[in-house]
Structure 1
């Protein structure tokens, strides 16, 4: 599909109805996850915010309801850093089917020391990648029960410049916070592409799609108090950078399109139109280091072993 036809067919401000569908957004209480949830709620769908912090989730729900008349939104207690809790969390959904999950929640650290989850995994890799890897297993039956289930993994522009160290996935030998974060997002994206290959092999109706927000800054993001508030001074100082990047409301656009657009196919990558940093959502070529099936297979096997989970993730 050409970029011209893409923009003609998709309007980020006039989304198609998704009434009757159910979406789960991990980390839906803040940042890209919040705006993804707000935009999806405006389609008439039921939106579930997966969050470990009930107070922040309540604030996000209040904000969404104040902006989306009749919004159907609720909270699911979800802690991706605690792998043993995820089956119980999914059981609490009490659903017969789930139309899509957005794997968005994440931890980003920028200082020392190295930290670990309660399971003993490096915090960013353990939460951002392993948590979603295991969550996918417990959601498999619900996604398969939907007419056209989708798994949308939210990656990061930071992953483009990173490469996985398969011998040190948890940065035990050389921990650098920003690099470890980028690698955790790269692991997520590799997983998203490999998952779709395996779903196609299994003949599943579920699609796995990867999206990223480009350059999305808090200072360019519209206020949603108490979820987010930027001062006039912060917004004024950030205006020049708006030529290159955008706010987190626009950063959610590729994610929302990956969830809703019936033309989206499994194994695709969606991001902002302008240099992958800002603008309307478009399909992007998948970088070779994210699409290498040999690397992805090794990452998959290591992830299943570290998480102690079924390597088929429930899709057979």
Structure 2
């Protein structure tokens, strides 16, 4: 398990330059993913927004270029719920190197009924976990060919209090939307830690890092037209919550640090400083289900069976 070493000082407002590097952000068209992309674009890197809806992706690209003059940002279509489409999405990248993929996109349903993808998988588990597992599998040759590349997985603090039922990973017997969502994010986080163990065993330089954003609200989030405009009423209603929660702009900080900070190590967990809910990004201990290697190995096997893919098969050390 990685130690809680003392990383170098980090200023969320003065990020290191990253010209010549390529970053892929899933779900970069809105929410926290948008702010991850905006902050990474400000470093001079090329940022690719991987978004299901091309119109939303283009709106995000326009917004980023408005706020970051000269930003190198483009988008590709990515539907994580459609496993058969992911290979074509990766081909559309057209990159010779990929310095980081941010596995951020997610679906949260707040009420029944249970919904399935065209593949017959439960929608939240499919999008949040299965889709990213498959995407990383297709991206692994490009990532391992890029020195010191990173896979950064965005989890959720709600996942820490959940447990997986790998006899029913897709909630076919007892579907409860919030619990199913938390379990899908827990699976995603466990995958991130297991991926790093397998990367280390393969002797490569690619790192897998896990983050979570804490608690973020739209009412605390600054406007980014045409992506989203916060009303005066929302701003006022959000003031009390600001004592405990934060904006989606601030919620992007742990992920941005995990992508850029040279002191970050594989297998680490980064989240907000204040009770894991808000504040500057700090290193957190990896414990409980997140540190269960037997559970992780079983989840990996179940996921590989469901997707028909396995990132391990492409983990060849590159020099």
Same fold (TM over 0.5): yes
Q: Which moved more, 1:226-235 or 1:150-159?
A: 226-235
Question: Does the CA-based 8 Å contact 1:219-1:235 persist in structure 2?
Answer: yes
Aligned length: 314
Q: Which residue of 1 aligns with 2:291?
A: 291
Structure with higher RCO (Cα < 8 A, 6+ apart): 2
- 1:171-182 to structure 2, matched below 5 A, reads 171-182=171-182
Question: Does the CA-based 8 Å contact 2:136-2:311 persist in structure 1?
Answer: no
Q: Which residue of 1 aligns with 2:142?
A: 142
String of CA shifts for 1:274-300, please: whole Å, max 9, x gaps.
Answer: 000111100000132111000001100
> TM-score when scaled to structure 1?
0.97
Q: Which residue of 1 aligns with 2:244?
A: 244
Poorly superposed stretches of 4+, deviation over 4 Å: none
The separation in 2 between residues aligned to 1:233 and 1:152, in whole angstroms, is 35
- Answering whether residue 191 of structure 2 is matched by residue 191 of structure 1, we say yes
**Aligned Cα root-mean-square deviation (Å):** 1.3
Q: Which residue of 2 aligns with 1:224?
A: 224
**What is the DSSP-based 3-state SS (H/G/I as helix, E as strand, rest coil) of the residue aligned with 1:178?**
helix
- 1:91-240 to structure 2, matched below 5 A, reads 91-240=91-240
Cα 1:136/1:2, change in 2 over 3 Å: closer
String of CA shifts for 1:137-163, please: whole Å, max 9, x gaps.
Answer: 110111111121100000001101110
String of CA shifts for 1:243-273, please: whole Å, max 9, x gaps.
Answer: 1110000000000000000000000000000
Unaligned runs of 5+ in 1: none
**What is the DSSP-based 3-state SS (H/G/I as helix, E as strand, rest coil) of the residue aligned with 2:124?**
helix
Q: Which residue of 2 aligns with 1:272?
A: 272
**What is the DSSP-based 3-state SS (H/G/I as helix, E as strand, rest coil) of the residue aligned with 1:246?**
coil
Unaligned runs of 5+ in 2: none
The separation in 2 between residues aligned to 1:9 and 1:214, in whole angstroms, is 21
The separation in 2 between residues aligned to 1:186 and 1:144, in whole angstroms, is 25
Cα 1:22/1:236, change in 2 over 3 Å: same
